[in-house]
Structure 1
């Protein structure tokens, strides 16, 4: 006897409402103790209300989502979609309980966070900012408008795509993100990101020295910047960039402390005559 096909109990309206709650409220009541726990619970409320008409069943089902949760909010959308699919299967009588759902969430939030933080925060956002900076030459507001529109569009439609793919394909959607295909996509995006950041560096960062050595007659016999340009143009810019990379990547110093270090180096350099800010008093 053929298996009877069970009609899905979740409609597009319910799924969209769940997605919107995650998109707008993933960081609801955010704290170091709970992180995204309450945002996750809020996104699952429409799902549970649809699947469990009885209030007591809703209370029992939501216990699976009270555990700590924290991941990249953008790519983490796929986990919420997978959860919706699993919750639907549980309500349909499949051998899935709250512990199984919570184990899935706990197992995925770490890998998704690592991928999302490097892909979104470390690659996509710098690419968009690099393009926006290039469009802002001369004080044009077009760059700022571009970044706002592009980021909102990518964030919304990208997360929506991931949510519904997670619901439709379940753990197969996650396998793409953490598998070989996902790794190839991340590598390609990383290469593009490096090119954009390199272009921004060459266009917007310019470190030069004003240090000059004079003889007894007061004439300059060594202009350090001219000598460096004849050997390796832009070498000071590269050196400062590599210093920042070393501080943040190897020494794990935050961006704020790195900027403070640069301020101190600039201040000392001006006092010693190594740098000339061109200020007149």
Structure 2
């Protein structure tokens, strides 16, 4: 049970739950509760049968399956594929869920150049990606996620008051 619990935890809690709640969050972006219901239904529709049949399968042929899978490397492949799928799905939702709108515009006569349109025209979604990567980097360096949330909130309010960011 010990070695398989680590695989199950990484598949369920580090892959399935973030994927389901990311999908649910995209449906709840406007403030509705539909996304929460979808996320909970998805998690339980996958998790409950997986645990039930996994328990039955593990009881009937657990040690034999582990020895065969270890020899072939099957479990490592499945785990790596599931983690990669989760990262791709969550990464694809970053531009939808992380919104930054610059309010800076430069005017030269009748020409108005918006910083937001310029950046999005060059590399769409780069600002949310950079902010997300910065947060990941800071969390890995030991910064508290709660501290980062508070700092981000204070910085967003200050930059909006200064006119650098706008509410979209």
TM bin (shorter chain): 0.7 to 0.9
Query: What are the residue-to-residue correspondences of 1:229-240 with 2, within 5 Å?
Result: 229-240=120-131
Of 80, 86, 109, the residue aligned with 1:187 is 80
Report the equivalent of 1:212: 105
Report the equivalent of 1:56: none
Distance 1:246 1:270 in 2: 24
Per the alignment, in what secondary structure is the counterpart of residue 276 of structure 1? coil
Query: Would you identify which runs of 4 or more consecutive aligned residues in structure 1 move more than 6 Å?
Result: none
Distance 1:277 1:112 in 2: 47
**Contact 1:208 1:236 survives alignment (8 Å):** no
**Contact 2:12 2:47 survives alignment (8 Å):** no
Distance 2:162 2:9 in 1: 40
Deviation at 1:254, TM superposition (A): 4.1
- TM-score norm. by structure 1 comes to 0.49
Deviation at 1:188, TM superposition (A): 1.9
Report the equivalent of 1:143: 35
Of 100, 123, 130, the residue aligned with 2:15 is 123
Distance 1:117 1:213 in 2: 51
Deviation at 1:240, TM superposition (A): 0.7
Deviation at 1:243, TM superposition (A): 0.9
Q: Does 1:133 align with 2:43?
A: no
Report the equivalent of 1:203: 96
Distance 2:166 2:153 in 1: 14
Of 159, 164, 167, the residue aligned with 1:274 is 164
What is the alpha-carbon root mean square deviation over aligned residues?
A: 3.1
**Contact 1:208 1:237 survives alignment (8 Å):** no
Query: Which structure is richer in relative contact order (CA contacts within 8 A, separation 6 or more)?
Result: 2
Q: Does 1:243 align with 2:139?
A: no
**Contact 2:106 2:112 survives alignment (8 Å):** yes
Report the equivalent of 2:116: 225
**Contact 1:207 1:236 survives alignment (8 Å):** yes
Could you tell me which runs of 5 or more consecutive residues in structure 1 were left unpaired when the two chains were aligned. 1-78, 80-107
Say how many residue pairs are matched.
Answer: 167
1:185-237: CA deviation from partner (whole Å, max 9, x where unpaired): 1122223212321232232322121123467x9x8865322332333233211
Distance 2:6 2:143 in 1: 19
Query: What are the residue-to-residue correspondences of 1:1-281 with 2, within 5 Å?
Result: 79=1, 108=2, 111-112=3-4, 114-136=6-28, 141-175=33-67, 176=69, 180-213=73-106, 222-248=113-139, 250-277=140-167
The 1:220/1:272 distance shift into structure 2, 3 A limit, reads farther
Could you tell me which runs of 5 or more consecutive residues in structure 2 were left unpaired when the two chains were aligned. none
**Contact 1:212 1:222 survives alignment (8 Å):** yes
Distance 1:238 1:199 in 2: 10
**Contact 1:166 1:174 survives alignment (8 Å):** no
